[in-house]
Structure 1
Amino acid sequence: MAETDNIIIKDSLDGLGTDAYGNYLAHALCLAGSCKLKYNGEERQLQAGNLMIVRKGKLVDRIRPAEDFRVKVIYVASEFIELSTPLSNYGMKGQLALFLDPVMKLDAGQLELCRKDFEMVEERLAQTDHHFRRDLLIASVQLLIIDFFDFHSHLYGVDNIPLQSAAIMSRFLNMLENGTYREHREVKWFADKLCVTPKYLSEVSRKVSGYPANYWINLYTVLDISRLLRDKSLTFVRISDMFGFSSPAYFSRYVQQHLGVSPTEYRG
Protein backbone atom coordinates (compact mmCIF):
# COMPACT_ATOMS: atom_id res chain seq x y z
CA MET A 1 0.00 0.00 0.00
CA ALA A 2 1.39 3.41 -0.96
CA GLU A 3 1.80 6.06 1.71
CA THR A 4 -0.90 8.16 0.03
CA ASP A 5 -3.21 5.17 0.54
CA ASN A 6 -2.20 4.80 4.21
CA ILE A 7 -3.29 8.37 4.96
CA ILE A 8 -6.24 10.05 3.25
CA ILE A 9 -7.34 13.61 4.05
CA LYS A 10 -10.84 14.88 3.32
CA ASP A 11 -12.92 17.99 3.99
CA SER A 12 -16.21 16.20 4.56
CA LEU A 13 -17.64 13.09 6.25
CA ASP A 14 -18.82 11.71 2.91
CA GLY A 15 -17.99 8.02 2.74
CA LEU A 16 -17.59 7.48 6.47
CA GLY A 17 -19.31 4.23 7.36
CA THR A 18 -19.02 2.81 3.84
CA ASP A 19 -16.74 0.08 2.51
CA ALA A 20 -14.54 2.76 0.93
CA TYR A 21 -13.03 3.45 4.36
CA GLY A 22 -13.72 0.07 5.94
CA ASN A 23 -10.06 -0.52 6.83
CA TYR A 24 -9.39 3.00 8.11
CA LEU A 25 -9.63 4.84 11.41
CA ALA A 26 -11.30 8.21 10.98
CA HIS A 27 -10.16 11.28 12.91
CA ALA A 28 -12.57 14.18 12.35
CA LEU A 29 -11.94 17.67 13.73
CA CYS A 30 -15.01 19.92 13.54
CA LEU A 31 -13.87 23.42 12.60
CA ALA A 32 -17.26 25.13 12.43
CA GLY A 33 -20.98 24.44 12.60
CA SER A 34 -22.37 21.06 13.56
CA CYS A 35 -23.30 17.67 12.15
CA LYS A 36 -25.81 15.13 13.41
CA LEU A 37 -25.21 11.43 12.91
CA LYS A 38 -26.11 8.07 14.31
CA TYR A 39 -23.41 6.06 16.07
CA ASN A 40 -24.28 2.56 17.19
CA GLY A 41 -27.94 3.47 16.74
CA GLU A 42 -27.71 6.49 19.06
CA GLU A 43 -28.02 10.11 18.01
CA ARG A 44 -24.73 12.05 18.28
CA GLN A 45 -23.71 15.57 17.38
CA LEU A 46 -20.30 16.76 16.23
CA GLN A 47 -19.87 20.46 17.01
CA ALA A 48 -17.18 23.09 16.50
CA GLY A 49 -14.28 22.25 18.80
CA ASN A 50 -15.11 18.53 18.92
CA LEU A 51 -12.78 15.72 17.88
CA MET A 52 -14.39 12.48 16.74
CA ILE A 53 -12.38 9.27 16.42
CA VAL A 54 -14.16 6.35 14.77
CA ARG A 55 -12.46 2.97 14.80
CA LYS A 56 -15.39 1.00 13.38
CA GLY A 57 -16.92 3.02 10.55
CA LYS A 58 -19.92 0.74 10.09
CA LEU A 59 -21.27 2.02 13.40
CA VAL A 60 -21.88 5.38 11.70
CA ASP A 61 -24.88 6.18 9.55
CA ARG A 62 -27.40 8.95 8.79
CA ILE A 63 -24.79 11.72 8.61
CA ARG A 64 -26.63 15.06 8.47
CA PRO A 65 -24.32 18.11 8.32
CA ALA A 66 -25.63 21.64 8.87
CA GLU A 67 -25.02 24.19 6.12
CA ASP A 68 -22.21 25.86 8.09
CA PHE A 69 -20.49 22.57 8.98
CA ARG A 70 -16.75 22.45 8.26
CA VAL A 71 -14.57 19.51 9.11
CA LYS A 72 -11.12 18.12 8.45
CA VAL A 73 -10.87 14.33 8.38
CA ILE A 74 -7.70 12.24 8.48
CA TYR A 75 -8.24 8.58 7.58
CA VAL A 76 -5.36 6.29 8.58
CA ALA A 77 -5.18 2.64 7.52
CA SER A 78 -5.42 0.20 10.45
CA GLU A 79 -2.00 -1.31 9.73
CA PHE A 80 -0.40 2.14 9.66
CA ILE A 81 -2.07 3.03 12.97
CA GLU A 82 -0.43 -0.03 14.54
CA LEU A 83 2.97 1.09 13.25
CA SER A 84 2.42 4.62 14.56
CA THR A 85 0.87 3.92 17.97
CA PRO A 86 3.34 4.75 20.76
CA LEU A 87 4.39 2.15 23.31
CA SER A 88 1.85 3.19 25.92
CA ASN A 89 -0.75 0.98 27.59
CA TYR A 90 -3.06 3.99 27.77
CA GLY A 91 -4.05 3.37 24.15
CA MET A 92 -6.14 0.38 25.22
CA LYS A 93 -8.24 2.45 27.65
CA GLY A 94 -8.68 5.19 25.08
CA GLN A 95 -9.66 2.71 22.38
CA LEU A 96 -12.38 1.18 24.55
CA ALA A 97 -13.76 4.51 25.72
CA LEU A 98 -13.91 5.91 22.19
CA PHE A 99 -15.60 2.74 20.97
CA LEU A 100 -18.48 3.60 23.31
CA ASP A 101 -18.46 7.37 22.68
CA PRO A 102 -16.33 8.62 19.76
CA VAL A 103 -16.68 12.38 20.44
CA MET A 104 -14.28 14.38 22.63
CA LYS A 105 -14.97 18.01 23.55
CA LEU A 106 -11.69 19.91 23.35
CA ASP A 107 -10.87 23.08 25.22
CA ALA A 108 -9.39 26.09 23.40
CA GLY A 109 -5.77 25.02 23.94
CA GLN A 110 -6.41 21.42 22.88
CA LEU A 111 -8.32 22.57 19.82
CA GLU A 112 -5.44 24.78 18.66
CA LEU A 113 -2.92 21.97 19.22
CA CYS A 114 -5.13 19.47 17.39
CA ARG A 115 -5.53 21.87 14.48
CA LYS A 116 -1.72 22.19 14.24
CA ASP A 117 -1.31 18.41 14.38
CA PHE A 118 -3.79 17.97 11.52
CA GLU A 119 -2.01 20.63 9.45
CA MET A 120 1.36 18.97 10.15
CA VAL A 121 0.15 15.58 8.88
CA GLU A 122 -1.27 17.23 5.75
CA GLU A 123 1.95 19.16 5.11
CA ARG A 124 4.12 16.09 5.63
CA LEU A 125 1.89 14.01 3.36
CA ALA A 126 2.53 16.57 0.61
CA GLN A 127 6.32 16.11 0.89
CA THR A 128 6.49 13.44 -1.78
CA ASP A 129 10.23 13.97 -2.42
CA HIS A 130 11.31 13.37 1.20
CA HIS A 131 13.89 10.54 1.24
CA PHE A 132 12.54 9.22 4.54
CA ARG A 133 8.88 9.85 3.87
CA ARG A 134 7.50 6.68 5.47
CA ASP A 135 9.35 7.33 8.74
CA LEU A 136 8.30 10.96 8.56
CA LEU A 137 4.62 10.04 8.25
CA ILE A 138 4.82 7.45 11.01
CA ALA A 139 6.33 10.10 13.30
CA SER A 140 3.65 12.64 12.32
CA VAL A 141 0.79 10.23 13.01
CA GLN A 142 2.44 9.12 16.25
CA LEU A 143 2.56 12.71 17.48
CA LEU A 144 -1.10 13.07 16.57
CA ILE A 145 -1.96 9.95 18.59
CA ILE A 146 0.11 11.03 21.60
CA ASP A 147 -1.84 14.29 21.74
CA PHE A 148 -5.09 12.33 21.44
CA PHE A 149 -3.99 10.26 24.45
CA ASP A 150 -3.32 13.47 26.35
CA PHE A 151 -6.69 15.01 25.44
CA HIS A 152 -8.48 11.85 26.50
CA SER A 153 -6.54 11.43 29.75
CA HIS A 154 -7.42 14.99 30.80
CA LEU A 155 -11.08 14.20 30.20
CA TYR A 156 -11.19 10.76 31.83
CA GLY A 157 -8.07 10.44 33.98
CA VAL A 158 -4.99 8.23 33.67
CA ASP A 159 -4.98 4.62 34.85
CA ASN A 160 -1.84 2.53 34.91
CA ILE A 161 -2.79 -0.61 32.98
CA PRO A 162 -0.30 -3.48 33.46
CA LEU A 163 1.40 -4.58 30.24
CA GLN A 164 0.12 -8.15 30.52
CA SER A 165 -3.48 -6.99 31.01
CA ALA A 166 -3.25 -4.64 28.04
CA ALA A 167 -1.83 -7.45 25.87
CA ILE A 168 -4.60 -9.89 26.84
CA MET A 169 -7.31 -7.29 26.27
CA SER A 170 -5.81 -6.36 22.91
CA ARG A 171 -5.81 -9.99 21.72
CA PHE A 172 -9.36 -10.46 23.03
CA LEU A 173 -10.62 -7.42 21.14
CA ASN A 174 -8.76 -8.44 17.99
CA MET A 175 -10.67 -11.73 17.98
CA LEU A 176 -13.93 -9.82 18.34
CA GLU A 177 -12.90 -7.36 15.61
CA ASN A 178 -12.36 -10.37 13.33
CA GLY A 179 -15.94 -11.51 13.85
CA THR A 180 -15.24 -14.57 16.01
CA TYR A 181 -18.42 -13.84 17.98
CA ARG A 182 -20.49 -15.10 15.04
CA GLU A 183 -19.43 -18.64 15.96
CA HIS A 184 -18.34 -18.34 19.59
CA ARG A 185 -19.98 -16.27 22.31
CA GLU A 186 -18.79 -18.04 25.46
CA VAL A 187 -16.20 -16.35 27.68
CA LYS A 188 -14.61 -19.78 28.24
CA TRP A 189 -13.87 -20.20 24.53
CA PHE A 190 -12.03 -16.86 24.34
CA ALA A 191 -10.24 -17.56 27.63
CA ASP A 192 -9.02 -20.92 26.34
CA LYS A 193 -7.62 -19.27 23.20
CA LEU A 194 -5.84 -16.70 25.39
CA CYS A 195 -4.52 -19.43 27.75
CA VAL A 196 -6.20 -17.90 30.81
CA THR A 197 -9.22 -18.82 32.94
CA PRO A 198 -12.64 -17.28 32.22
CA LYS A 199 -12.55 -15.61 35.63
CA TYR A 200 -9.16 -14.04 34.92
CA LEU A 201 -10.25 -12.79 31.47
CA SER A 202 -13.31 -11.12 32.97
CA GLU A 203 -11.21 -9.59 35.77
CA VAL A 204 -8.75 -8.17 33.20
CA SER A 205 -11.60 -6.84 31.06
CA ARG A 206 -13.24 -5.18 34.06
CA LYS A 207 -9.93 -3.69 35.22
CA VAL A 208 -9.07 -2.28 31.78
CA SER A 209 -12.50 -1.25 30.50
CA GLY A 210 -14.84 -1.22 33.48
CA TYR A 211 -16.89 -4.04 31.94
CA PRO A 212 -16.64 -7.86 32.11
CA ALA A 213 -15.64 -9.93 29.07
CA ASN A 214 -19.20 -11.02 28.22
CA TYR A 215 -20.19 -7.35 27.91
CA TRP A 216 -17.81 -6.90 24.96
CA ILE A 217 -18.81 -10.23 23.37
CA ASN A 218 -22.49 -9.27 23.49
CA LEU A 219 -21.79 -5.69 22.37
CA TYR A 220 -19.95 -6.76 19.21
CA THR A 221 -22.63 -9.39 18.51
CA VAL A 222 -25.55 -6.99 18.97
CA LEU A 223 -23.90 -4.26 16.89
CA ASP A 224 -23.46 -6.69 14.02
CA ILE A 225 -26.97 -8.13 14.34
CA SER A 226 -28.58 -4.67 14.46
CA ARG A 227 -26.65 -3.64 11.33
CA LEU A 228 -27.83 -6.77 9.49
CA LEU A 229 -31.42 -6.30 10.66
CA ARG A 230 -31.43 -2.93 8.92
CA ASP A 231 -30.72 -4.78 5.65
CA LYS A 232 -34.22 -5.82 4.65
CA SER A 233 -32.89 -8.13 1.95
CA LEU A 234 -31.77 -10.55 4.69
CA THR A 235 -34.35 -12.83 6.28
CA PHE A 236 -34.37 -13.44 10.02
CA VAL A 237 -33.59 -17.11 9.37
CA ARG A 238 -30.55 -16.13 7.31
CA ILE A 239 -29.24 -13.81 10.03
CA SER A 240 -29.89 -16.45 12.68
CA ASP A 241 -27.87 -18.98 10.64
CA MET A 242 -25.00 -16.50 10.18
CA PHE A 243 -24.57 -16.38 13.96
CA GLY A 244 -25.04 -20.09 14.56
CA PHE A 245 -28.18 -19.80 16.67
CA SER A 246 -29.80 -23.19 17.22
CA SER A 247 -33.18 -21.89 16.02
CA PRO A 248 -34.86 -18.69 14.81
CA ALA A 249 -36.81 -18.67 18.09
CA TYR A 250 -33.56 -18.57 20.10
CA PHE A 251 -32.30 -15.80 17.83
CA SER A 252 -35.51 -13.82 18.43
CA ARG A 253 -35.12 -14.21 22.22
CA TYR A 254 -31.50 -13.03 22.02
CA VAL A 255 -32.51 -9.91 20.06
CA GLN A 256 -35.39 -9.24 22.47
CA GLN A 257 -33.04 -9.55 25.45
CA HIS A 258 -30.29 -7.29 24.11
CA LEU A 259 -32.19 -4.80 21.92
CA GLY A 260 -35.39 -4.66 23.94
CA VAL A 261 -37.57 -5.44 20.92
CA SER A 262 -38.20 -8.39 18.62
CA PRO A 263 -36.43 -8.60 15.23
CA THR A 264 -39.71 -7.66 13.52
CA GLU A 265 -40.20 -4.61 15.74
CA TYR A 266 -36.58 -3.51 15.31
CA ARG A 267 -36.85 -3.69 11.55
CA GLY A 268 -40.09 -1.72 11.71
Structure 2
Amino acid sequence: MAEAENIIIKDTLDGLGTDAYSDYLAHALCLAGSCRLKYNGEERELQAGDLMIVRKGKLVERIRPADDFRVKVIYVTSEFIVLSTPLSNYGVKGQLALFRNPIMKLDAGQRELCRRDFEMVEARLAQTDHHFRRDLLIASVQMLIIDFFDFHSHLYGVDNIPLQSATIMSRFLNMLENGTYREHREVNWYADKLCVTPKYLSEVSRKISGYAANYWINRYTVLDISRLLRDKSLTFVCISDLFGFSSPAYFSRYVQQHLGVSPTEYRG
Protein backbone atom coordinates (compact mmCIF):
# COMPACT_ATOMS: atom_id res chain seq x y z
CA MET A 1 0.00 0.00 0.00
CA ALA A 2 1.34 3.46 -0.85
CA GLU A 3 2.08 5.81 2.03
CA ALA A 4 -0.45 8.28 0.64
CA GLU A 5 -3.05 5.59 1.37
CA ASN A 6 -1.68 4.80 4.83
CA ILE A 7 -2.13 8.44 5.83
CA ILE A 8 -5.00 10.62 4.59
CA ILE A 9 -5.46 14.24 5.62
CA LYS A 10 -8.85 15.97 5.44
CA ASP A 11 -10.42 19.23 6.59
CA THR A 12 -13.86 17.76 7.27
CA LEU A 13 -15.41 14.98 9.34
CA ASP A 14 -17.44 13.85 6.32
CA GLY A 15 -16.90 10.13 5.83
CA LEU A 16 -15.98 9.36 9.44
CA GLY A 17 -17.75 6.16 10.43
CA THR A 18 -18.29 5.01 6.84
CA ASP A 19 -16.73 2.03 5.10
CA ALA A 20 -14.34 4.37 3.29
CA TYR A 21 -12.35 4.77 6.51
CA SER A 22 -13.20 1.46 8.19
CA ASP A 23 -9.54 0.47 8.61
CA TYR A 24 -8.34 3.91 9.70
CA LEU A 25 -7.91 5.60 13.06
CA ALA A 26 -9.08 9.21 12.94
CA HIS A 27 -7.28 12.02 14.74
CA ALA A 28 -9.26 15.26 14.59
CA LEU A 29 -8.09 18.64 15.91
CA CYS A 30 -10.87 21.21 16.13
CA LEU A 31 -9.46 24.52 14.91
CA ALA A 32 -12.57 26.65 15.40
CA GLY A 33 -16.27 26.46 16.19
CA SER A 34 -17.87 23.26 17.42
CA CYS A 35 -19.44 20.03 16.23
CA ARG A 36 -22.01 17.84 17.94
CA LEU A 37 -21.99 14.09 17.37
CA LYS A 38 -23.18 10.88 18.91
CA TYR A 39 -20.42 8.52 20.01
CA ASN A 40 -20.88 5.11 21.60
CA GLY A 41 -24.55 6.01 22.14
CA GLU A 42 -23.81 9.28 23.96
CA GLU A 43 -23.98 12.90 22.82
CA ARG A 44 -20.58 14.60 22.59
CA GLU A 45 -19.37 18.01 21.48
CA LEU A 46 -16.04 18.72 19.82
CA GLN A 47 -15.02 22.31 20.57
CA ALA A 48 -12.21 24.60 19.44
CA GLY A 49 -8.90 23.29 20.77
CA ASP A 50 -10.22 19.76 21.44
CA LEU A 51 -8.51 16.67 20.10
CA MET A 52 -10.69 13.69 19.15
CA ILE A 53 -9.22 10.23 18.52
CA VAL A 54 -11.57 7.62 17.09
CA ARG A 55 -10.34 4.02 16.85
CA LYS A 56 -13.65 2.56 15.73
CA GLY A 57 -15.48 4.89 13.37
CA LYS A 58 -18.69 2.86 13.50
CA LEU A 59 -19.24 4.28 17.00
CA VAL A 60 -19.76 7.74 15.47
CA GLU A 61 -23.22 8.84 14.36
CA ARG A 62 -25.12 12.03 13.55
CA ILE A 63 -22.24 14.43 12.96
CA ARG A 64 -23.68 17.96 13.20
CA PRO A 65 -21.05 20.70 12.64
CA ALA A 66 -21.79 24.34 13.43
CA ASP A 67 -21.45 26.87 10.62
CA ASP A 68 -18.10 28.10 11.97
CA PHE A 69 -16.64 24.61 12.53
CA ARG A 70 -13.14 24.03 11.19
CA VAL A 71 -11.17 20.84 11.69
CA LYS A 72 -8.03 19.06 10.55
CA VAL A 73 -8.25 15.26 10.41
CA ILE A 74 -5.41 12.78 10.02
CA TYR A 75 -6.53 9.25 9.13
CA VAL A 76 -3.93 6.53 9.66
CA THR A 77 -4.41 2.84 8.88
CA SER A 78 -4.39 0.41 11.81
CA GLU A 79 -1.34 -1.31 10.32
CA PHE A 80 0.63 1.93 10.12
CA ILE A 81 -0.39 2.87 13.68
CA VAL A 82 1.11 -0.40 14.91
CA LEU A 83 4.36 0.35 13.07
CA SER A 84 4.46 3.86 14.54
CA THR A 85 3.40 3.21 18.14
CA PRO A 86 6.31 3.43 20.61
CA LEU A 87 7.20 0.47 22.82
CA SER A 88 4.98 1.47 25.71
CA ASN A 89 2.08 -0.30 27.37
CA TYR A 90 0.40 3.05 28.01
CA GLY A 91 -1.44 2.74 24.71
CA VAL A 92 -3.75 0.09 26.15
CA LYS A 93 -5.01 2.39 28.88
CA GLY A 94 -5.44 5.19 26.36
CA GLN A 95 -7.29 2.87 23.99
CA LEU A 96 -9.81 1.96 26.70
CA ALA A 97 -10.31 5.52 27.90
CA LEU A 98 -10.82 6.80 24.35
CA PHE A 99 -13.37 4.06 23.73
CA ARG A 100 -15.45 5.64 26.50
CA ASN A 101 -14.75 9.26 25.54
CA PRO A 102 -12.76 10.08 22.39
CA ILE A 103 -12.41 13.81 23.11
CA MET A 104 -9.47 15.32 25.01
CA LYS A 105 -9.61 18.90 26.27
CA LEU A 106 -6.20 20.39 25.54
CA ASP A 107 -4.69 23.40 27.28
CA ALA A 108 -3.10 26.22 25.25
CA GLY A 109 0.38 24.66 25.23
CA GLN A 110 -0.88 21.21 24.26
CA ARG A 111 -3.07 22.71 21.55
CA GLU A 112 -0.12 24.50 19.96
CA LEU A 113 2.05 21.38 20.15
CA CYS A 114 -0.71 19.29 18.61
CA ARG A 115 -1.17 21.79 15.80
CA ARG A 116 2.56 21.63 15.03
CA ASP A 117 2.48 17.81 15.09
CA PHE A 118 -0.37 17.82 12.58
CA GLU A 119 1.48 20.27 10.34
CA MET A 120 4.63 18.11 10.53
CA VAL A 121 2.79 14.99 9.38
CA GLU A 122 1.17 16.93 6.54
CA ALA A 123 4.49 18.44 5.46
CA ARG A 124 6.29 15.09 5.57
CA LEU A 125 3.49 13.43 3.61
CA ALA A 126 4.07 16.00 0.87
CA GLN A 127 7.76 15.01 0.56
CA THR A 128 7.11 12.38 -2.11
CA ASP A 129 10.73 12.45 -3.35
CA HIS A 130 12.34 11.68 0.03
CA HIS A 131 14.51 8.55 -0.30
CA PHE A 132 13.52 7.37 3.20
CA ARG A 133 9.90 8.47 3.08
CA ARG A 134 8.40 5.43 4.84
CA ASP A 135 10.76 5.80 7.81
CA LEU A 136 10.15 9.54 7.77
CA LEU A 137 6.39 9.08 8.00
CA ILE A 138 6.67 6.43 10.71
CA ALA A 139 8.80 8.82 12.75
CA SER A 140 6.40 11.75 12.28
CA VAL A 141 3.35 9.67 13.24
CA GLN A 142 5.27 8.28 16.23
CA MET A 143 5.95 11.83 17.46
CA LEU A 144 2.23 12.52 17.13
CA ILE A 145 1.36 9.42 19.16
CA ILE A 146 3.94 10.14 21.87
CA ASP A 147 2.46 13.59 22.38
CA PHE A 148 -1.04 12.07 22.47
CA PHE A 149 0.16 9.71 25.23
CA ASP A 150 1.50 12.71 27.14
CA PHE A 151 -1.72 14.72 26.74
CA HIS A 152 -3.75 11.75 27.90
CA SER A 153 -1.52 10.94 30.88
CA HIS A 154 -1.80 14.54 32.11
CA LEU A 155 -5.57 14.24 31.94
CA TYR A 156 -5.96 10.77 33.44
CA GLY A 157 -2.67 9.91 35.14
CA VAL A 158 -0.25 7.08 34.44
CA ASP A 159 -0.91 3.57 35.69
CA ASN A 160 1.85 1.01 36.02
CA ILE A 161 0.24 -1.72 33.96
CA PRO A 162 2.40 -4.89 33.74
CA LEU A 163 3.54 -5.56 30.18
CA GLN A 164 2.04 -9.08 30.16
CA SER A 165 -1.37 -7.78 31.24
CA ALA A 166 -1.23 -4.95 28.72
CA THR A 167 -0.37 -7.38 25.92
CA ILE A 168 -3.23 -9.74 26.80
CA MET A 169 -5.74 -6.89 27.00
CA SER A 170 -4.52 -5.40 23.73
CA ARG A 171 -4.83 -8.73 21.90
CA PHE A 172 -8.29 -9.27 23.40
CA LEU A 173 -9.54 -5.87 22.22
CA ASN A 174 -7.97 -6.31 18.80
CA MET A 175 -9.94 -9.52 18.33
CA LEU A 176 -13.13 -7.68 19.26
CA GLU A 177 -12.32 -4.78 16.96
CA ASN A 178 -11.87 -7.29 14.15
CA GLY A 179 -15.46 -8.44 14.67
CA THR A 180 -14.92 -11.86 16.26
CA TYR A 181 -17.85 -11.15 18.61
CA ARG A 182 -20.21 -11.88 15.72
CA GLU A 183 -19.28 -15.54 16.01
CA HIS A 184 -17.86 -15.83 19.51
CA ARG A 185 -19.33 -14.23 22.63
CA GLU A 186 -17.96 -16.56 25.30
CA VAL A 187 -15.09 -15.46 27.55
CA ASN A 188 -13.81 -19.05 27.41
CA TRP A 189 -13.20 -18.80 23.65
CA TYR A 190 -11.10 -15.63 23.96
CA ALA A 191 -9.21 -16.98 26.97
CA ASP A 192 -8.34 -20.12 25.02
CA LYS A 193 -7.02 -18.06 22.09
CA LEU A 194 -4.93 -15.99 24.51
CA CYS A 195 -3.66 -19.10 26.33
CA VAL A 196 -4.99 -17.96 29.71
CA THR A 197 -7.88 -19.03 31.93
CA PRO A 198 -11.24 -17.23 31.66
CA LYS A 199 -10.84 -16.09 35.27
CA TYR A 200 -7.42 -14.59 34.55
CA LEU A 201 -8.65 -12.78 31.43
CA SER A 202 -11.52 -11.23 33.37
CA GLU A 203 -9.18 -10.24 36.22
CA VAL A 204 -6.80 -8.54 33.78
CA SER A 205 -9.69 -6.79 32.04
CA ARG A 206 -11.16 -5.59 35.32
CA LYS A 207 -7.78 -4.37 36.62
CA ILE A 208 -6.96 -2.40 33.48
CA SER A 209 -10.39 -1.18 32.36
CA GLY A 210 -12.60 -1.47 35.42
CA TYR A 211 -14.83 -3.97 33.60
CA ALA A 212 -14.77 -7.77 33.25
CA ALA A 213 -14.05 -9.33 29.85
CA ASN A 214 -17.71 -10.16 29.29
CA TYR A 215 -18.58 -6.44 29.43
CA TRP A 216 -16.36 -5.67 26.42
CA ILE A 217 -17.69 -8.62 24.42
CA ASN A 218 -21.27 -7.51 24.98
CA ARG A 219 -20.44 -3.83 24.44
CA TYR A 220 -18.97 -4.43 20.99
CA THR A 221 -21.83 -6.78 20.12
CA VAL A 222 -24.58 -4.39 21.22
CA LEU A 223 -23.05 -1.40 19.42
CA ASP A 224 -22.88 -3.38 16.19
CA ILE A 225 -26.41 -4.75 16.56
CA SER A 226 -27.84 -1.29 17.30
CA ARG A 227 -26.13 0.10 14.19
CA LEU A 228 -27.59 -2.69 12.03
CA LEU A 229 -31.05 -2.28 13.57
CA ARG A 230 -31.06 1.30 12.32
CA ASP A 231 -30.67 -0.02 8.77
CA LYS A 232 -34.29 -0.80 7.94
CA SER A 233 -33.29 -2.72 4.82
CA LEU A 234 -32.05 -5.54 7.08
CA THR A 235 -34.58 -7.96 8.53
CA PHE A 236 -34.33 -9.13 12.12
CA VAL A 237 -33.72 -12.67 10.87
CA CYS A 238 -30.82 -11.44 8.73
CA ILE A 239 -29.22 -9.63 11.68
CA SER A 240 -29.79 -12.62 13.93
CA ASP A 241 -28.04 -14.86 11.40
CA LEU A 242 -25.10 -12.46 11.09
CA PHE A 243 -24.41 -12.94 14.79
CA GLY A 244 -25.05 -16.64 14.84
CA PHE A 245 -27.99 -16.57 17.24
CA SER A 246 -29.70 -19.95 17.46
CA SER A 247 -33.10 -18.40 16.73
CA PRO A 248 -34.73 -14.99 16.14
CA ALA A 249 -36.40 -15.39 19.54
CA TYR A 250 -33.01 -15.70 21.25
CA PHE A 251 -31.80 -12.65 19.29
CA SER A 252 -34.85 -10.70 20.46
CA ARG A 253 -34.19 -11.64 24.11
CA TYR A 254 -30.55 -10.56 23.77
CA VAL A 255 -31.58 -7.17 22.38
CA GLN A 256 -34.21 -6.74 25.10
CA GLN A 257 -31.66 -7.58 27.80
CA HIS A 258 -28.93 -5.25 26.56
CA LEU A 259 -30.86 -2.39 24.93
CA GLY A 260 -33.88 -2.44 27.21
CA VAL A 261 -36.34 -2.68 24.33
CA SER A 262 -37.28 -5.25 21.69
CA PRO A 263 -35.79 -5.02 18.17
CA THR A 264 -39.14 -3.72 16.88
CA GLU A 265 -39.32 -1.01 19.55
CA TYR A 266 -35.69 0.00 18.98
CA ARG A 267 -36.24 0.36 15.25
CA GLY A 268 -39.37 2.39 15.97
Global fold match (TM > 0.5): yes
8 A contact 2:37–2:62 mirrored in 1: yes
Counterpart residue type for residue 213 of structure 1: A
CA distance in 2 between counterparts of 1:111 and 1:251 reads 46
**1:121-132 matched pairs, under 5 angstroms:** 121-132=121-132
Unmatched segments (≥5 aa) in structure 2: none
Counterpart residue type for residue 35 of structure 1: C
The list of structure 1 runs, each at least 4 consecutive aligned residues, that deviate by more than 2 angstroms after superposition, is none
CA distance in 2 between counterparts of 1:24 and 1:190 reads 24
Deviation at 1:58, TM superposition (A): 1.3
**1:20-169 matched pairs, under 5 angstroms:** 20-169=20-169
CA distance in 1 between counterparts of 2:216 and 2:174 reads 12
Q: Considering only aligned residues, what root-mean-square deviation do their CA atoms show, in Å?
A: 0.9
Counterpart residue type for residue 173 of structure 1: L
8 A contact 2:222–2:258 mirrored in 1: yes
Residue 231 of structure 2 aligns to a residue whose secondary structure is: coil
CA distance in 2 between counterparts of 1:56 and 1:211 reads 19
Residue 38 of structure 2 aligns to a residue whose secondary structure is: strand
CA distance in 1 between counterparts of 2:135 and 2:233 reads 45
CA distance in 1 between counterparts of 2:113 and 2:147 reads 8
8 A contact 2:27–2:75 mirrored in 1: yes
Unmatched segments (≥5 aa) in structure 1: none
Deviation at 1:41, TM superposition (A): 2.4
Match of 1:2 in 2: 2
Identity %: 90
Residue 246 of structure 1 aligns to a residue whose secondary structure is: coil
Counterpart residue type for residue 82 of structure 2: E
Counterpart residue type for residue 167 of structure 1: T
Counterpart residue type for residue 20 of structure 2: A
CA distance in 1 between counterparts of 2:180 and 2:129 reads 42
CA distance in 2 between counterparts of 1:40 and 1:226 reads 10
* TM-score relative to the length of structure 2: 0.98
8 A contact 2:35–2:69 mirrored in 1: yes
CA distance in 2 between counterparts of 1:10 and 1:150 reads 24
Residue 44 of structure 1 aligns to a residue whose secondary structure is: strand
Deviation at 1:40, TM superposition (A): 2.0
Deviation at 1:23, TM superposition (A): 0.9
8 A contact 2:56–2:177 mirrored in 1: no
Quick check: 199-208 or 178-187, which moved more?
Answer: 178-187
CA distance in 2 between counterparts of 1:105 and 1:137 reads 26
Match of 2:266 in 1: 266
CA distance in 2 between counterparts of 1:2 and 1:164 reads 33
